Amino acid sequence: MVAGLSIVLAACGGENKSSDQQAAPGQSSQPAATATTPAAAGATHDVNMVLEGSSYKYVPDQLTIKPNDLIRYHNKSGGPHNVAFWSDSIPSGAASAITVPDPMAPLSSKLVVAPDEVIEVKFNNAPAGEYKYYCTPHLALGMKAKLTVK
């Protein structure tokens, strides 16, 4: 009986890949946040925050997404960086659709300083239109970008 129980317990612990696939929908959002496609119906897009020569920029600096998409902003060089949306340069009602982690102000993410640190910005049923944003520490140096929700 002990041997049988050991086999059952080993099978449960040893089959993490198949049990993770079955358990993923019921688990917290952490596994979905690190996946290439979030649990919601939207896609994931990657934008790098960089210093190239003497230019601070988002790469790409123009992006088209759909409602419910997620953008992962990667601190690649020249940090600290953040993502801050101009409240008067986004569609009406869009402020409540943008989820910024650990905001330091409304519509403004925290600063990331560690290499390859990521800021994930979610667009929850975001209305169509243009969304203009910038990096707070590098705005005067021209680090700004635009995304379009279609």
The residues spanned by each domain of the chain are: 1-35, 37-149
Q: In this structure, what are the phi and psi dihedrals at residue 24, rounded to the nearest 5 degrees?
A: -55, -45
What per-residue confidence (pLDDT) applies to 19? 37
What per-residue confidence (pLDDT) applies to 130? 98
Q: Is the pTM of this model over 0.75?
A: no
Determine contact, residues 121/63, Cβ cutoff 8 Å: no
What per-residue confidence (pLDDT) applies to 29? 35
What per-residue confidence (pLDDT) applies to 101? 86
Query: Is residue 41 left, alpha or beta, with left meaning phi > 0 and alpha meaning psi from -120 to 50?
Result: alpha
Low-confidence ranges of the chain (pLDDT < 70): 1-41
- Which residues have CB under 8 Å from 95's CB, separation 6+? 85, 87, 106, 107
What per-residue confidence (pLDDT) applies to 21? 39
What per-residue confidence (pLDDT) applies to 95? 96
Neighbour count for residue 131 (Cβ, 10 Å): 24
At the fourth CATH level, the homologous superfamily of domain 37-149 is Cupredoxins -  blue copper proteins (2.60.40.420)
